[in-house]
Amino acid sequence: MSYDDKNVFAKILRGELPCHKVYETDRVLAFMDVMPRGDGHVLVIPKVKARNILDIQPDDLAELAKAVQVVGRGTKAALSADGLTVQQFNESAGGQVVFHIHFHVIPRFEGVALKPHTGQMEKPDVLAAMAEKIRAALA
């Protein structure tokens, strides 16, 4: 299947939709998930057009992986998390919903389960405060 320029992450990259940025380079962007499964849930995406891990160029995937590590370390430190869950899904059968490759970086805390994916959006002020905390840890 081909890349769809109308996906939500493509719109964020073009500035057509807002996001709460936590990290950015010339090749990647990381921002708060508006439907978080846990406190501090961040999405990390490449700026290139790639549907998923099956079609991204290896050097772009390497840059994306580096950013996931940077964001993971910063997020874990910012929230004093006990660990991290990193998820990446490919195609509908694999659980992919937005067809622009992305990684979920979710801070985890002992004894706290992930929230179910209900589609419920977090309040913008909560996301903004969390993003600020993570950006400060990344600085």
What single string gives the DSSP state of each residue in 74-135?
HHHHHHT-SEEEEE---TGGGT--SSS--EEEEEE-TT-PPPP---PPPPHHHHHHHHHHHH
Examine the residue annotation and report whether 104 is marked as an active-site residue of this protein: no
**Residue the block writes with tokens 């998923």:** 52
Catalytic residue from among 41, 100, 102, 104: 102
* Catalytic positions: 102
